[in-house]
Amino acid sequence: MNLKPLPMLNTQRIPPDEPRLRLKSDGSLEIGKPGGQIEFAFQVLGRRFEANTRPTAAGMVLQLSAEIGPVPYSADGDGVRAAAFAVIDTSQLMDGMRLVISHHRQIYCIGKAMLKDGWKQNDVLSASARLALTAKPYLQMLSEILPKRPPWTH
């Protein structure tokens, strides 16, 4: 196997046009946006959650969001619609997560968590997992309630 070295690794500096890579004073490479901001995505029960960190006056905050699907139509049945709204209403009691309805009548699962000073990347992953696991029972109930629609009907 003949591997060629990457030109960037052959130099002592990171190219100035690459803001996501920073060489720390101890020689390690830091990846991500300046200020420690991180963006990533993962799946729970077939739903794609997008996560990011952002600085606030109170400290760094982790935010999560996932599109769940459309609000059931009246034609889907009053029981289906009432059950979906009951799950959405009850989700307001979750710690850090909740289900919401957008202006376009889409159901989203959103949440946030404060990160302690001195947080590390594994703290972000742990907080993401905790939030997603908090929402999991509600997502399971919605997946049983919401009508199955073909993926092209978004």
User: What's domain 36-146's architecture?
Assistant: 2-Layer Sandwich (3.30)
Residue among 151, 149, 133, 154 nearest 45 (CA): 133
Q: pLDDT (tens digit, 9 = 90+) per residue, 22-45?
A: 666 776 666 665 556 788 899 999
25-29, 99-103, 150-154 — which one is most confidently predicted on average? 99-103
- Name the pTM for this structure: 0.72
- The confidence band for 141, taking pLDDT boundaries of 50, 70 and 90, is very high
Q: pLDDT (tens digit, 9 = 90+) per residue, 66-84?
A: 999 999 988 888 899 999 9
- The confidence band for 50, taking pLDDT boundaries of 50, 70 and 90, is very high
The end-to-end CA distance of the chain, in Å, is 46
- Report yes or no: 23 and 35 within 8 Å, Cβ to Cβ: no
Q: How far is the C-alpha of 67 from the C-alpha of 109, rounded, in Å? A: 6
